[in-house]
Amino acid sequence: MGEAPTDSANAVGVEVEIVVNGDATKLSGSSSVADLLVSLDMSDRRVAVAVNRNIVVRSSYRDVQLASGDRIEILEAVGGG
């Protein structure tokens, strides 16, 4: 598998269009996976994130920058029984 995008080619103030769990979303051009989770009020939840079908490890959430056209899948761990 390839790696999730990590460059920060997007300029501050420019919006990028991404798809999150099938829904189109616009973000600031300098948004990381961590920024996305904050904007979705999910930063304190146990989640798994994939960008363009590549899993992003939690320690890289701040480093992985999102770009126009990226497809993000967020899965939340749910306990129960």
Q: Which amino acid is at 52?
A: N
**According to the model, what pLDDT value does residue 38 have?**
96
Q: How confident is the model at residue 71 (pLDDT cuts 50, 70, 90)?
A: very high
- To the question of pTM greater than 0.85 for the whole model, the response is no
- The secondary structure of 44-70, three-state, reads CCCEEEEECCEEECHHHCCCCECCCCC
| 51 dihedral zone (left: phi>0; alpha: psi -120 to 50; beta) | beta
Residue 1 has pLDDT above 60, yes or no: no
Residue 6 has pLDDT above 80, yes or no: no
SS3 (DSSP) at 5: coil
If you average pLDDT over residues 33-60, what whole number do you get? 96
